[in-house]
Amino acid sequence: MRSWFFGNKDQISRVYSAEIIDALSLEAGLEGGRVYNVKDLGGVVSEDVEYLFSTWGMPPVPSEYIRSYFPALKAVFYAAGSVQSFAGPFLSEGVKVFSAWGANAVPVAEYACSQILLANKGFFHCFRQAGEGRREEALAAFSEFPGNFDCPVGIIGAGMIGSAVAVRLKEHRLNVYVFDPFLPPEKAAELGVTKVSLEEIFAKCRTVSNHLANNARTAGMLRGDLFGSMMPFSTFINTGRGAQVDERGLAGVLARRKDIVALLDVTWPEPPEAGHPFYSLDNVFLTPHMAGSSGNEVKRMAEYMLAEFRKFSAGEKCDYEVTAEMLPTMA
């Protein structure tokens, strides 16, 4: 058995701890800490490599390269979230792909859930006024919020992250509504959510959180008219992808309606171009794509992939395999 680290050396050293590397060296035949990339293919012996381990920075590898250089390859273990940029050719060549999307979903779900709970209390509407000495104005805004008990919250997209957010929100007695055409009724019942249309999400929910899959069909799906239909004193949260939002339309609505707040951890492009209205609107809160795994949290993803490797190599059922059929609906 022989394995390689493949991709970005700095990212791999950040994500894979010494303990994980030792385990993979012993159990998967990993070649120490050396990291290979596409440019190395042809100059090294790779014909007997069975497993690739990677994380952020995994390069796309053409199908013909996979056939030529990795004839024995069985699986790619990706210690990060989305595999959209590289998975297709591997899957088409019969190579299994596993992703730590479950691990990466944990901090994003925690982040989004925290923002939802604060938004329902009016935190983002009130703290600037209070901080500037406008206490009465802040209290007037605060009086418009219902708090979290029975508050209607909308989740757009019920994939791994959206579902994890819904599960966490159940602990707080919120009424959770979901837009996701691919969500089966039995899964909605299991999550304790109500399926509704995209238009209903925006018109009826106090806080709306985006977790759509990132693909061509979802680009621009969140239109300006949807934001214009939001309830008074409502909040839009985006930890998904900026390309899914009509940002020009959103900025126009936010300029007209100061009662709506947008919490944007992602934009398109990232960061917004110089002079973008998002920089000057008081009701926009920009963060630098920080909801995902960071600091010590990234180690969790490598642990997930070690666990997946152990199950796969033992012939057991794995938890985080990505199939070609899943790609169109994955974030």
Model pLDDT, residue 185: 96
3-103+295-329: what fold? Rossmann fold (3.40.50)
Beta strands per DSSP E along 48-121 = 51-54, 75-78, 96-99
Q: Do domains 3-103+295-329 and 105-286 have the same CATH topology?
A: yes
The arrangement of secondary structure in 105-286, i.e. its CATH architecture, is 3-Layer(aba) Sandwich (3.40)
pTM for the structure as a whole? 0.83
What is the residue extent of each domain of the chain? Answer: 3-103+295-329, 105-286
For the chain, first and last CA: distance in Å? 32
Model pLDDT, residue 326: 87
Model pLDDT, residue 216: 85
Model pLDDT, residue 297: 94
Alpha-carbon distance of 285 to 105, in angstroms, equals 22
pLDDT along the chain (331 residues), means of 10: 96 96 96 90 94 97 97 97 93 97 91 98 94 94 95 95 95 96 95 98 98 89 98 97 96 97 97 97 97 93 98 97 85 64
Alpha-carbon distance of 212 to 232, in angstroms, equals 24
